[in-house]
Structure 1
Amino acid sequence: MRSVRSRLFLLAPLLLAGWLVACEPAPAQTTAEPTTPEQTSRGQRGREAPASSVPTARDPVSGLPWITRAALPPEGRQVLARIAQGGPFPYRKDGAAFGNRERLLPRQPGGHYREYTVPTPGETDRGARRIVCGGVPVTRTAECYYTADHYASFRRIAP
């Protein structure tokens, strides 16, 4: 019995290491998507850009994937316009501090991020969609993030 336990004791770290290697995410594909949606990986007149200038698919600051304003749902574009105008906001909690408890956004001092509801057609409550923006004043939309799943994941909105 003792030899079985000692073998399991020795085998456990190896199994854990193997599991960690198998679960490690694949490296980002730098040639599949541009750094921002407006950029492309091609030079003028369709020529390929040098490999060193091919941008990545993720925001270099947050590490999150990009989303263009055009790719947001229409309600999301309306919310961004309201944020830029400083309101008015239809939901009482719009503009409230977002605590970033999930730690998916870059770490900032408390009160840096503000959240806004993106209405979901057919929902009777606020739904799961939000835009979270950082910085002051509240009309600053340069650092905004979109979540369609109530903070489980975010995408950086391209400025």
Structure 2
Amino acid sequence: MFLLDRSGPWPAWQQWGSRLAAAVSVAVVLATAPSAQAKENASTTDAASSTVALSALPREAQQTHQLILSGGPFPYAKDGVVFGNRERQLPKKARGFYHEYTVKTPGARNRGARRIVCGGQPPSNPEVCYYTEDHYASFRKIVK
């Protein structure tokens, strides 16, 4: 058992104890928090490992995919804009790599939550496309 000799001024011991407690708290937080690299790898793995066949997508998503390949015309003004990947759900690429397209949602009064995000140049010949039905919370890679 380790005993501290508290001889001397008590305020000095309180200050030492407070510093030790703060250092231990910081060490615990750092040890238990996942690294940014681990988070990025996990999100990249999630998006890359979950796939969906193009034929299994809703009819509206298949139609949007066909419009992407043909270069439009697109029904929404925001279709084809750069997708910033701020959610970091997709593999990290240079800005401008990804473009997003609206998938019509029957009965929705606005654009809805469904999107296809494709990456590569030119946009009509994408390297990869992803489908989200929950407004970027999750993605599935589209396979043909």
Q: How far is 1:140 from its partner?
A: 1.6
What TM-score results when the alignment is normalised by the length of structure 1? Answer: 0.63
1:94 alignment counterpart: 79
Q: Residues 33-72 of structure 1 correspond to what in structure 2 (within 5 A)?
A: 63-72=48-57
Q: Which structure has the highest helix share of the two?
A: 2
1:140 alignment counterpart: 125
1:149 alignment counterpart: 134
1:80–1:141: 8 Å Cα contact kept in structure 2? no
Higher CA-based Rg: 2
Number of matched pairs: 124
Runs of 4+ in 1 over 6 A off after TM superposition: none
Tell me which of 53, 74, 79 is aligned to 2:64.
79
For 1:122 and 1:80, the matched residues in 2 are separated by: 20
For 2:105 and 2:128, the matched residues in 1 are separated by: 22
Question: Taking every aligned residue pair, what percent have the same amino acid on both sides?
Answer: 51
Q: Which has the higher contact order (CA 8 A, sep 6+)?
A: 2
1:146–1:156: 8 Å Cα contact kept in structure 2? yes
Structure 1, unmatched stretches of 5+, are 21-57
Structure 2, unmatched stretches of 5+, are 1-17, 34-44
For 1:125 and 1:136, the matched residues in 2 are separated by: 29
For 1:124 and 1:150, the matched residues in 2 are separated by: 15
Give RMSD over aligned pairs. 2.9
Q: How far is 1:63 from its partner?
A: 3.1
1:124 to 2:71 alignment: no
| Aligned residue type for 1:131 | I
1:107 alignment counterpart: 92
